[in-house]
Structure 1
């Protein structure tokens, strides 16, 4: 963006309807029309500045500059965050809680998650032989079992189908209103009751030692006291729900392997660098988080504009991942762009940017990449086709499913085998 004394304002009173209607493309479309990487408008009648691009990412994630409190729509917070959870904290309280999550992402735990997922995938895939399945629905079950096992929760002792529905609805309905949203709130409350019983039982039994569940149950915060049961419940869901949500990337990976097969490098199906590059390009190109909001804590200047404490900023994650100033042929699927190249971190922000400890960047990004890489590898080993169907991804569903779901036909390993 060219230096200027002011950031342009959109015409009109409020942009809420346009944002919900246009979805992922809303911010970048306006930036392109205005010839600017930022613009001011109102969202839900509140003044807001939208930003996109590499320089905006650097400024937005300057340590200590922004807070998440009061920065997300009030309908989203109860489904995706929760009062007292790590996203609502700042400064040292945030660092201590965030460190707990980062400790869960050590190399051994990441390897364990990938191994668990591969086991769950292979167990499920045996039932797919000779069948046409709803891949998106199947993935929800696989990821719920994976999430439970990784947290130290035995799936055989719990209603996996109910947990899968609750956890997947939380993120799938976060951008909705009306009956769908109310149902999601009810399902979240039901899941919280289940999670509360787990935290309570774990504390009473003083175990299972070393598990993710135990680390949450016995974590102590800045003041040296144990997290309240209510907050521990929210943080447990803040682990389980995102792991299940990663399954939406698996649907996108299948979509990419089918729709962009001519652009997939011709190497062995289990070639780790290539599968990781495909996974990274899926995260860059496909729509997941549209944007992230923040409230200014410390006044700062950016491109001639002044931002004061309390100002509401929204960073365009999807638009930055598609920014032609950062990415050559930005709208094309090109996995090779991630092979052996120095990708600037401010340009690849599918799950946010900044420093993992100092900022609110998603601590599960490493886990996402491990699981998605394994999913790409498993999909490339599976013999499957895509029946005729609508593969369009809606711009105003957050995140979208092609035609409401992706159906795939899995070829039988043994001739004559059927569902």
Structure 2
């Protein structure tokens, strides 16, 4: 290591990472005045970095690998074991193609229609209620949307329980104690249930629509021509359901932005699709979602005079890159118009990872996120009226995932 690369002194900084959350890497990048620094996490040497150039290196599959990188507690709650996020090389490309095959324009249009229908059903209910907690309600909307789109049959009385289990997976990934164990138990329950559905499909007792995730993933074959293990196929179906339900976080931040920036809301009333796209992208850039991504150095290489040693844990600052003053003018200002002439760089705007969707580790569901957010935004602005009473709408940059503290309570909902 050259003297130009800072090193954080101390035996271990895992607790600091938990205490500082989304700002842990960014704080040190700013204090060290460096886009790369060395520290110790989970008892091991680790490299933290951020910025456009760092993202380009991080998503170079010849330099970094994902297999075996995620801590066991994350695999047992958020990702599941042997899922696409843990694969490398040809196995990853082949599995990623499976995911991208359900992201066609036709399938995304079907998703939009399903999602709009679920919003309509929710509005029918909300008009009869004095007030609702938007986060809880959008979890229900997103669970229904995800299951119908993925071809996963769910009984009406099981929806809330399933939504609760799916949220537990992404809300407990960094938790300790009872919350973490709740996430593990939730994953075990859902994996068992989805695994049984997959066996029914393979036995001919259940016939999901062709093109849906349940159908495609049940019959997907690996590079050796074998069907995926039932448990692995179940993990991958959940890797469709869970992230779609997690979009509830972004929907609530969209509602927050609509409330806090009324001048932007007025623009959106025009129904201009480009303005909606810009607004959604700015929500994804501005508000916290994933704090960082993790990988491990595949084999030794040098970048910017720093030697990356084989096996070293490396974290890429997703939140900090989206708030990098070298990339974004006034990054702490909410400004959708910044995306009007954005160059669509795959490494400067990385709320759900960077690089190529098909060949790299960028989230396969990013297009799903954008489409769902646009439909939700249209309802929040153009298809309903509501009041937002006084409440604590602040949000933490430490808690992962972050949410408005009050989870956005709204009253007097009426269809526009």
TM-score class, shorter-chain normalisation, is over 0.9
Secondary structure of 2:46's counterpart equals: strand
The residue aligned with 1:182 is 181
CA RMSD across the alignment: 1.7
1:81/1:337 Cα in 2 relative to 1: closer, same or farther (>3 Å)?
Answer: same
- Asked whether 1:27 is paired with 2:25, we answer yes
Q: In the aligned structure 2, how far is the partner of 1:173 from the partner of 1:46?
A: 23
- Asked whether 1:96 is paired with 2:97, we answer no
- Are the aligned partners of 1:81 and 1:87 in contact in 2 as well (CA < 8 Å)? yes
Q: In the aligned structure 1, how far is the partner of 2:295 from the partner of 2:289?
A: 18
Q: In the aligned structure 1, how far is the partner of 2:47 from the partner of 2:240?
A: 30
Residue deviations 1:127-148 (CA, integer Å, cap 9, x gap): 1126310000000000000001
- Are the aligned partners of 1:265 and 1:274 in contact in 2 as well (CA < 8 Å)? no
Q: In the aligned structure 2, how far is the partner of 1:238 from the partner of 1:263?
A: 33
The residue aligned with 2:55 is 57
The residue aligned with 1:208 is 208
Q: How big is the shift at 1:263?
A: 4.3
Candidates 383, 397, 415, aligned match of 2:399: 397
The residue aligned with 2:148 is 149
Runs of 4 or more consecutive aligned structure 1 residues displaced over 6 Å after TM superposition: none
Residue deviations 1:367-399 (CA, integer Å, cap 9, x gap): 111111111111112212221111111122111
The normalised TM-score by structure 2 is 0.95
The residue aligned with 2:107 is 109
Q: How big is the shift at 1:158?
A: 6.2
Secondary structure of 1:347's counterpart equals: coil
Q: In the aligned structure 2, how far is the partner of 1:245 from the partner of 1:23?
A: 18
The residue aligned with 2:170 is 171
Unaligned runs of 5+ in 1: 415-419
Q: In the aligned structure 2, how far is the partner of 1:370 from the partner of 1:104?
A: 14
Unaligned runs of 5+ in 2: none
1:195/1:128 Cα in 2 relative to 1: closer, same or farther (>3 Å)?
Answer: same
1:351/1:180 Cα in 2 relative to 1: closer, same or farther (>3 Å)?
Answer: same
- Are the aligned partners of 1:5 and 1:304 in contact in 2 as well (CA < 8 Å)? no
Q: In the aligned structure 2, how far is the partner of 1:412 from the partner of 1:125?
A: 8
Q: Mean alpha-carbon deviation: is it higher for 73-82 or for 266-275? A: 266-275
Residue deviations 1:226-246 (CA, integer Å, cap 9, x gap): 001010111111110001001
Residue deviations 1:272-296 (CA, integer Å, cap 9, x gap): 1111111100000110000000001
The residue aligned with 1:77 is 75
- Are the aligned partners of 1:196 and 1:233 in contact in 2 as well (CA < 8 Å)? yes
Residue deviations 1:339-363 (CA, integer Å, cap 9, x gap): 2432432110000001122211110
Secondary structure of 2:405's counterpart equals: helix
- Are the aligned partners of 2:123 and 2:413 in contact in 1 as well (CA < 8 Å)? no
The residue aligned with 2:386 is 384
* Residues 209-288 of structure 1 mapped to structure 2, 5 A cutoff: 209-210=209-210, 211-264=212-265, 266-288=267-289
Residue deviations 1:89-148 (CA, integer Å, cap 9, x gap): 111111111101011100000111111000001110111126310000000000000001
